[in-house]
Protein backbone atom coordinates (compact mmCIF):
# COMPACT_ATOMS: atom_id res chain seq x y z
CA UNK A 1 0.00 0.00 0.00
CA UNK A 2 1.39 3.36 -0.96
CA UNK A 3 2.10 5.78 1.83
CA UNK A 4 0.60 9.18 1.27
CA UNK A 5 1.82 12.46 2.67
CA UNK A 6 -1.60 13.77 3.61
CA UNK A 7 -4.19 11.09 3.99
CA UNK A 8 -7.46 12.50 2.82
CA UNK A 9 -10.54 12.15 4.88
CA UNK A 10 -13.98 10.70 4.34
CA UNK A 11 -16.02 12.37 7.05
CA UNK A 12 -19.33 11.09 8.40
CA UNK A 13 -21.33 13.84 10.06
CA UNK A 14 -24.94 14.19 11.12
CA UNK A 15 -26.99 14.26 14.29
CA UNK A 16 -26.72 11.70 17.06
CA UNK A 17 -28.39 8.33 16.45
CA UNK A 18 -28.66 8.93 12.70
CA UNK A 19 -26.64 5.79 11.95
CA UNK A 20 -23.10 6.94 11.10
CA UNK A 21 -21.22 4.40 13.23
CA UNK A 22 -23.57 1.66 12.06
CA UNK A 23 -22.85 2.45 8.41
CA UNK A 24 -19.12 2.46 9.06
CA UNK A 25 -19.23 -0.87 10.89
CA UNK A 26 -21.50 -2.64 8.43
CA UNK A 27 -19.73 -1.47 5.30
CA UNK A 28 -16.12 -1.25 6.38
CA UNK A 29 -15.87 -3.72 9.26
CA UNK A 30 -18.08 -6.55 8.08
CA UNK A 31 -20.57 -6.26 10.95
CA UNK A 32 -24.11 -7.45 10.43
CA UNK A 33 -26.99 -4.96 10.91
CA UNK A 34 -28.04 -6.89 14.01
CA UNK A 35 -24.65 -6.41 15.62
CA UNK A 36 -24.95 -2.61 15.53
CA UNK A 37 -28.45 -2.40 17.05
CA UNK A 38 -27.30 -1.38 20.51
CA UNK A 39 -24.45 0.93 19.54
CA UNK A 40 -23.78 3.66 22.08
CA UNK A 41 -23.33 7.27 21.01
CA UNK A 42 -19.88 8.05 19.65
CA UNK A 43 -17.91 10.19 22.03
CA UNK A 44 -16.02 12.90 20.15
CA UNK A 45 -14.92 11.08 16.96
CA UNK A 46 -13.18 7.92 15.80
CA UNK A 47 -10.82 7.58 12.88
CA UNK A 48 -9.56 4.60 10.96
CA UNK A 49 -7.42 4.26 7.87
CA UNK A 50 -8.57 2.30 4.85
CA UNK A 51 -6.58 1.19 1.86
CA UNK A 52 -8.19 0.70 -1.52
CA UNK A 53 -5.82 -0.60 -4.17
CA UNK A 54 -3.13 2.07 -4.26
CA UNK A 55 -5.07 4.75 -2.41
CA UNK A 56 -5.57 5.26 1.28
CA UNK A 57 -8.02 7.43 3.12
CA UNK A 58 -9.14 8.05 6.65
CA UNK A 59 -12.66 7.56 7.82
CA UNK A 60 -13.78 10.07 10.41
CA UNK A 61 -16.91 9.02 12.27
CA UNK A 62 -17.96 12.10 14.20
CA UNK A 63 -20.17 11.93 17.23
CA UNK A 64 -23.44 13.67 16.44
CA UNK A 65 -24.74 14.66 19.85
CA UNK A 66 -25.11 18.41 19.95
CA UNK A 67 -22.30 18.99 22.43
CA UNK A 68 -19.92 17.36 19.90
CA UNK A 69 -21.29 18.53 16.56
CA UNK A 70 -21.46 22.15 17.71
CA UNK A 71 -17.73 22.00 18.49
CA UNK A 72 -16.91 20.32 15.16
CA UNK A 73 -18.50 23.15 13.20
CA UNK A 74 -17.15 25.63 15.76
CA UNK A 75 -13.76 25.61 17.50
CA UNK A 76 -12.53 22.34 15.95
CA UNK A 77 -13.66 23.17 12.42
CA UNK A 78 -10.21 23.49 10.91
CA UNK A 79 -9.16 20.09 12.26
CA UNK A 80 -12.34 18.31 11.15
CA UNK A 81 -12.83 19.98 7.78
CA UNK A 82 -9.27 20.16 6.44
CA UNK A 83 -8.12 17.59 3.83
CA UNK A 84 -11.65 16.29 3.34
CA UNK A 85 -12.22 14.48 0.06
CA UNK A 86 -15.79 13.37 0.77
CA UNK A 87 -18.30 14.60 3.32
CA UNK A 88 -21.20 12.27 4.05
CA UNK A 89 -24.05 13.94 5.91
CA UNK A 90 -26.33 11.32 7.46
CA UNK A 91 -29.97 12.20 8.13
CA UNK A 92 -32.31 9.85 10.00
CA UNK A 93 -35.42 10.03 7.85
CA UNK A 94 -37.47 8.19 10.44
CA UNK A 95 -37.01 11.08 12.87
CA UNK A 96 -38.71 14.10 11.33
CA UNK A 97 -38.63 16.02 14.63
CA UNK A 98 -34.89 16.46 14.20
CA UNK A 99 -34.83 17.42 10.53
CA UNK A 100 -34.55 21.16 11.02
CA UNK A 101 -31.78 20.72 13.61
CA UNK A 102 -29.94 18.51 11.14
CA UNK A 103 -30.30 21.14 8.42
CA UNK A 104 -29.07 23.83 10.80
CA UNK A 105 -25.80 21.97 11.43
CA UNK A 106 -25.59 20.88 7.80
CA UNK A 107 -25.47 24.52 6.71
CA UNK A 108 -22.74 25.24 9.26
CA UNK A 109 -20.80 22.19 8.10
CA UNK A 110 -20.98 23.31 4.44
CA UNK A 111 -19.70 26.72 5.39
CA UNK A 112 -16.71 25.11 7.08
CA UNK A 113 -16.17 22.67 4.25
CA UNK A 114 -16.15 25.49 1.71
CA UNK A 115 -13.61 27.23 3.88
CA UNK A 116 -11.19 24.33 4.47
CA UNK A 117 -11.87 21.77 1.68
CA UNK A 118 -13.77 23.52 -1.12
CA UNK A 119 -13.11 20.68 -3.58
CA UNK A 120 -14.67 17.98 -1.43
CA UNK A 121 -17.60 15.93 -2.73
CA UNK A 122 -20.77 16.19 -0.68
CA UNK A 123 -23.21 13.36 -0.15
CA UNK A 124 -26.40 13.41 1.89
CA UNK A 125 -27.65 10.01 2.96
CA UNK A 126 -31.33 9.89 3.80
CA UNK A 127 -30.77 6.99 6.09
CA UNK A 128 -32.96 4.36 7.79
CA UNK A 129 -35.03 4.47 4.63
CA UNK A 130 -36.31 1.01 5.58
CA UNK A 131 -38.41 2.64 8.29
CA UNK A 132 -40.47 4.69 5.80
CA UNK A 133 -43.56 3.00 4.40
CA UNK A 134 -42.65 1.88 0.91
CA UNK A 135 -45.20 3.86 -1.08
CA UNK A 136 -44.21 7.06 0.72
CA UNK A 137 -40.48 6.65 0.18
CA UNK A 138 -40.23 8.46 -3.14
CA UNK A 139 -42.21 11.45 -1.93
CA UNK A 140 -40.31 11.73 1.36
CA UNK A 141 -36.94 11.58 -0.36
CA UNK A 142 -37.93 14.18 -2.95
CA UNK A 143 -39.12 16.54 -0.26
CA UNK A 144 -35.94 16.04 1.72
CA UNK A 145 -33.79 16.69 -1.34
CA UNK A 146 -35.46 20.03 -1.78
CA UNK A 147 -34.84 20.86 1.86
CA UNK A 148 -31.19 19.77 2.06
CA UNK A 149 -29.87 22.17 -0.55
CA UNK A 150 -26.71 24.13 0.04
CA UNK A 151 -27.04 27.81 0.90
CA UNK A 152 -23.67 28.17 -0.86
CA UNK A 153 -24.63 26.45 -4.13
CA UNK A 154 -22.54 23.34 -3.54
CA UNK A 155 -23.29 20.33 -5.69
CA UNK A 156 -24.80 17.65 -3.51
CA UNK A 157 -25.49 14.01 -4.27
CA UNK A 158 -28.45 12.48 -2.43
CA UNK A 159 -28.93 8.80 -1.66
CA UNK A 160 -31.65 6.94 0.22
CA UNK A 161 -29.88 4.33 2.33
CA UNK A 162 -30.40 1.58 4.84
CA UNK A 163 -28.06 -0.94 6.43
CA UNK A 164 -30.75 -3.59 5.96
CA UNK A 165 -30.42 -3.78 2.18
CA UNK A 166 -27.89 -3.18 -0.55
CA UNK A 167 -28.52 0.56 -0.80
CA UNK A 168 -25.74 1.41 1.62
CA UNK A 169 -23.22 -0.67 -0.33
CA UNK A 170 -24.23 0.90 -3.61
CA UNK A 171 -23.90 4.40 -2.17
CA UNK A 172 -20.55 3.81 -0.47
CA UNK A 173 -19.33 1.84 -3.49
CA UNK A 174 -20.01 4.85 -5.66
CA UNK A 175 -18.01 7.03 -3.28
CA UNK A 176 -15.11 4.60 -3.28
CA UNK A 177 -15.10 4.73 -7.06
CA UNK A 178 -14.98 8.52 -6.93
CA UNK A 179 -11.91 8.25 -4.73
CA UNK A 180 -10.31 5.82 -7.18
CA UNK A 181 -10.93 8.05 -10.17
CA UNK A 182 -9.10 10.83 -8.37
CA UNK A 183 -5.99 8.70 -8.26
CA UNK A 184 -3.85 8.89 -11.40
CA UNK A 185 -2.67 5.33 -11.04
CA UNK A 186 -6.22 4.09 -10.85
CA UNK A 187 -6.88 5.72 -14.17
CA UNK A 188 -4.05 3.74 -15.65
CA UNK A 189 -5.52 0.58 -14.19
CA UNK A 190 -8.93 1.51 -15.56
CA UNK A 191 -7.50 2.07 -19.00
CA UNK A 192 -5.69 -1.24 -18.89
CA UNK A 193 -8.86 -3.06 -17.90
CA UNK A 194 -10.90 -1.32 -20.59
CA UNK A 195 -8.35 -2.26 -23.17
CA UNK A 196 -8.31 -5.85 -21.92
CA UNK A 197 -12.09 -6.09 -22.16
CA UNK A 198 -12.09 -4.72 -25.67
CA UNK A 199 -9.78 -7.53 -26.66
CA UNK A 200 -11.72 -10.19 -24.74
CA UNK A 201 -15.31 -9.45 -25.60
CA UNK A 202 -16.55 -12.83 -24.38
CA UNK A 203 -16.14 -11.68 -20.80
CA UNK A 204 -18.94 -9.17 -21.06
CA UNK A 205 -17.57 -7.06 -18.26
CA UNK A 206 -15.65 -6.99 -15.07
CA UNK A 207 -16.08 -5.61 -11.58
CA UNK A 208 -13.26 -5.21 -9.14
CA UNK A 209 -13.73 -5.16 -5.42
CA UNK A 210 -11.61 -4.06 -2.50
CA UNK A 211 -9.60 -6.79 -0.85
CA UNK A 212 -10.96 -6.34 2.63
CA UNK A 213 -14.56 -5.20 2.42
CA UNK A 214 -15.67 -6.28 -1.00
CA UNK A 215 -16.63 -2.77 -2.04
CA UNK A 216 -16.90 -2.13 -5.77
CA UNK A 217 -14.06 0.06 -6.99
CA UNK A 218 -14.32 -0.45 -10.70
CA UNK A 219 -16.94 -1.63 -13.15
CA UNK A 220 -16.56 -1.82 -16.87
CA UNK A 221 -18.38 -3.38 -19.75
CA UNK A 222 -21.93 -4.52 -20.23
CA UNK A 223 -22.15 -5.74 -16.67
CA UNK A 224 -21.95 -2.34 -15.15
CA UNK A 225 -25.57 -1.54 -15.85
CA UNK A 226 -27.08 -4.93 -15.35
CA UNK A 227 -25.42 -6.40 -12.41
CA UNK A 228 -26.98 -6.58 -9.01
CA UNK A 229 -24.50 -8.02 -6.61
CA UNK A 230 -26.07 -10.75 -4.52
CA UNK A 231 -26.44 -9.82 -0.87
CA UNK A 232 -24.27 -12.70 0.27
CA UNK A 233 -21.35 -11.02 -1.47
CA UNK A 234 -22.26 -7.49 -0.54
CA UNK A 235 -22.87 -8.15 3.11
CA UNK A 236 -19.57 -9.77 3.52
CA UNK A 237 -16.03 -10.02 4.77
CA UNK A 238 -13.17 -12.13 3.47
CA UNK A 239 -14.02 -14.84 5.96
CA UNK A 240 -17.61 -15.00 4.87
CA UNK A 241 -16.67 -15.12 1.20
CA UNK A 242 -14.17 -17.84 2.08
CA UNK A 243 -16.90 -20.02 3.51
CA UNK A 244 -18.88 -19.75 0.28
CA UNK A 245 -16.13 -20.69 -2.14
CA UNK A 246 -16.78 -23.59 -4.40
CA UNK A 247 -13.88 -25.86 -3.61
CA UNK A 248 -12.66 -27.99 -6.43
CA UNK A 249 -9.13 -29.00 -7.21
CA UNK A 250 -8.83 -26.52 -10.01
CA UNK A 251 -10.87 -23.52 -8.98
CA UNK A 252 -10.85 -22.64 -5.35
CA UNK A 253 -11.86 -19.07 -5.74
CA UNK A 254 -15.16 -18.83 -7.53
CA UNK A 255 -18.74 -18.44 -6.55
CA UNK A 256 -21.30 -19.09 -9.24
CA UNK A 257 -24.81 -17.78 -9.35
CA UNK A 258 -27.31 -18.48 -12.10
CA UNK A 259 -25.93 -15.86 -14.45
CA UNK A 260 -22.54 -14.85 -13.13
CA UNK A 261 -19.24 -16.20 -12.02
CA UNK A 262 -17.54 -14.32 -9.21
CA UNK A 263 -13.80 -14.72 -9.20
CA UNK A 264 -11.50 -14.03 -6.27
CA UNK A 265 -7.74 -13.90 -6.42
CA UNK A 266 -5.70 -15.02 -3.46
CA UNK A 267 -2.54 -13.15 -2.65
CA UNK A 268 -0.30 -16.06 -1.79
CA UNK A 269 1.95 -14.21 0.63
CA UNK A 270 -0.74 -12.83 2.90
CA UNK A 271 -3.67 -15.04 1.94
CA UNK A 272 -5.61 -11.86 1.25
CA UNK A 273 -8.12 -11.60 -1.54
CA UNK A 274 -6.48 -9.06 -3.77
CA UNK A 275 -8.84 -8.67 -6.66
CA UNK A 276 -12.15 -10.11 -7.63
CA UNK A 277 -14.07 -9.97 -10.83
CA UNK A 278 -17.46 -10.84 -12.18
CA UNK A 279 -17.99 -12.44 -15.52
CA UNK A 280 -21.30 -13.13 -17.10
CA UNK A 281 -21.73 -16.82 -17.77
CA UNK A 282 -21.41 -16.64 -21.51
CA UNK A 283 -18.08 -18.38 -21.59
CA UNK A 284 -16.93 -21.60 -19.92
CA UNK A 285 -15.60 -21.24 -16.39
CA UNK A 286 -12.14 -22.39 -17.37
CA UNK A 287 -11.90 -19.67 -20.02
CA UNK A 288 -13.11 -17.03 -17.59
CA UNK A 289 -10.56 -18.11 -15.00
CA UNK A 290 -7.68 -17.92 -17.44
CA UNK A 291 -8.78 -14.44 -18.52
CA UNK A 292 -9.15 -13.29 -14.94
CA UNK A 293 -5.65 -14.52 -14.16
CA UNK A 294 -4.35 -12.50 -17.10
CA UNK A 295 -6.24 -9.45 -15.95
CA UNK A 296 -4.97 -9.79 -12.38
CA UNK A 297 -1.41 -9.96 -13.69
CA UNK A 298 -1.88 -6.80 -15.71
CA UNK A 299 -3.37 -4.96 -12.75
CA UNK A 300 -0.70 -6.14 -10.31
CA UNK A 301 2.03 -4.95 -12.64
CA UNK A 302 0.48 -1.51 -12.80
CA UNK A 303 0.05 -1.11 -9.05
N1 LIG B 1 -33.91 0.85 10.99
C2 LIG B 1 -32.64 1.21 10.84
N3 LIG B 1 -31.88 1.46 11.93
C4 LIG B 1 -30.59 1.82 11.74
C5 LIG B 1 -30.02 1.95 10.45
N6 LIG B 1 -28.73 2.36 10.61
C7 LIG B 1 -28.52 2.45 11.93
N8 LIG B 1 -29.63 2.14 12.62
C9 LIG B 1 -29.79 2.14 14.10
O10 LIG B 1 -29.69 3.45 14.58
C11 LIG B 1 -29.14 3.47 15.88
C12 LIG B 1 -28.08 4.53 16.02
O13 LIG B 1 -26.98 4.19 15.21
P14 LIG B 1 -25.50 4.76 15.41
O15 LIG B 1 -24.71 4.19 14.31
O16 LIG B 1 -25.00 4.56 16.79
O17 LIG B 1 -25.75 6.32 15.20
P18 LIG B 1 -24.63 7.47 15.14
O19 LIG B 1 -25.03 8.39 14.04
O20 LIG B 1 -23.27 6.89 15.08
O21 LIG B 1 -24.88 8.21 16.55
P22 LIG B 1 -23.81 9.15 17.33
O23 LIG B 1 -22.56 8.35 17.53
O24 LIG B 1 -24.46 9.53 18.62
O25 LIG B 1 -23.58 10.35 16.47
C26 LIG B 1 -28.64 2.03 16.15
O27 LIG B 1 -29.55 1.39 17.01
C28 LIG B 1 -28.68 1.39 14.79
O29 LIG B 1 -28.96 0.02 14.86
C30 LIG B 1 -30.85 1.67 9.31
O31 LIG B 1 -30.45 1.76 8.15
N32 LIG B 1 -32.14 1.33 9.57
MG1 LIG C 1 -21.71 7.01 16.36
Q: Tell whether 67 and 193 lie within a shared domain.
A: no
Taking the CA of 98 as reference, the closest ligand is 1
How many domains does the chain fold into? Answer: 2
User: Has residue 174 been placed in a domain?
Assistant: yes
The protein residue with its alpha carbon nearest to ligand 1, atom 14, reads 19
Longest CA pairwise span in the chain (Å): 60
| Ligand 1 pocket by Cβ (under 6 Å) | 14, 16-22, 36-37, 39, 41-42, 63-65, 127-128, 130-131, 162-164
- Domain final residue pick, 160, 181, 202: 181
- Answer yes or no: do 115 and 143 share one domain: yes
CA dihedral 123, 303, 236, 202 (to 10 degrees): 100
Alpha carbon of 207 to ligand 1 centroid (Å): 30
Q: Which ligand is nearest to the CA of 92?
A: 1
Mean pLDDT of 240-266: 58
Whose atoms come closest to the Cα of 68: which ligand? 1
Same domain (yes/no): 86, 168: yes
CA–centroid distance, residue 23 to ligand 1 (Å): 8
**Predicted local confidence at residue 243, as pLDDT:** 54
Residues 127, 211 share a domain: no
Which tens digit of pLDDT belongs to each residue from 36-67?
Answer: 999 999 999 999 988 765 667 899 999 999 99
Distance 127 CA to ligand 2 centre (A): 14
CATH of the domain at 125: 3.40.50.300
Distances (CA, A) of 64 to 22, 182, 217: 13, 29, 29
Short-list 295, 298, 302, CA closest to 263? 295
Q: Which of 131, 149, 181 is the last residue of a domain?
A: 181
Q: Same domain for 128 and 189?
A: no
Surrounding ion ligand 2 within 5 Å at CB are 21, 42
In a domain, 3, yes or no: no
Predicted pLDDT of residue 214: 65
Atom 12 (ligand 1) nearest CA: 17
Same domain (yes/no): 195, 290: yes
CA torsion 181-186-192-195 (nearest 10°) is -10
Contact 231, 219 (CB under 8 A): no
pLDDT in tens, 123-177: 999 999 999 999 999 999 999 999 999 999 999 999 999 999 888 888 888 888 7
For residue 131, which ligand has an atom nearest its CA?
1
User: Which percentage of the chain shows pLDDT scores above 90?
Assistant: 45
CA of 234 to the centre of ligand 2 (A): 22
Q: Judge whether 2 lies within some domain.
A: no
Residues 141 and 21 in one domain: yes
Of 133, 153, 181, which residue is a domain's last? 181
| 11 within 8 A of 84, measured Cβ to Cβ | yes
Closest ligand 1 atom to the C-alpha of 94?
Answer: 1
Ligand 1 probe mutation, 18, 19, 98, 171, most atoms within 8 A of CB? 19
Specify whether 170 is located in the same domain as 190. no
Q: What is the pLDDT of residues 1-12, one digit of tens each?
A: 344 456 889 999
139 and 125 co-located in one domain: yes
Residue of higher predicted confidence among 26 and 178: 26
156 and 130 assigned to the same domain: yes
Q: Report the pLDDT value the prediction gives residue 191, as an integer from 0 to 100.
A: 80
Per-residue pLDDT at 2: 40
User: Given strand 55-62, what is the order of strands in its sheet?
Assistant: 45-52, 55-62, 8-14, 84-92, 121-127, 156-161
| Best of 37, 39, 63, 91 for a ligand 1 pocket test (most atoms within 8 Å of beta carbon) | 39
Sheet holding 272-280, edge to edge: 254-256, 260-267, 272-280
**Secondary structure of the chain as H, E, C letters:** CCCCCCCEEEEEEECCCCCHHHHHHHHHCCCCHHHHCCCCCCCCEEEEEEEECCEEEEEEEECCCHHHHHHHCCCCHHHHHCCEEEEEEEEECCCHHHHHHHHHHHHHHHHHHHHHCCCCEEEEEEECHHHCCHHHHHHHHHHHHHHCCCCCCCCEEEEEECCCCCHHHHHHHHHHHHHHHCCHHHHHHHHHHHHHHHHCHHHCEEEEECCCCCCEEEEEECHHHHCCCCHHHHCCCHHHHHHHCECCCCCCCEEECCCEEEEEEEECCCCEEEEEEEEECCCCHHHHHHHHHHHHHHHHHHC
- List the domain range (segments joined by +) for residue 152: 8-181
| Nearest atom in ligand 1 to 37's CA | 29
CATH number of the domain where residue 209 is located: 3.30.450
Do residue 171 and residue 196 come from a single domain?
A: no
pTM of the model: 0.80
- pLDDT value at residue 250: 42
Domain co-membership, 128 together with 177: yes
Amino acid sequence: MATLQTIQKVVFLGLGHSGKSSIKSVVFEGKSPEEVMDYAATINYTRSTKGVLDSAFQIFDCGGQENFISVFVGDQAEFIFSDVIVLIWVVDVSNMDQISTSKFYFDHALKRLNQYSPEAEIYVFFHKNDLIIQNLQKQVIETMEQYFVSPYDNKITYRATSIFNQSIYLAIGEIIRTLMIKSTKAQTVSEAIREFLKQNKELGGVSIYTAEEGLPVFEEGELAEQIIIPANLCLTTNERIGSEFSVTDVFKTTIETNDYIFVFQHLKTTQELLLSGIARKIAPLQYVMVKMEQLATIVKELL
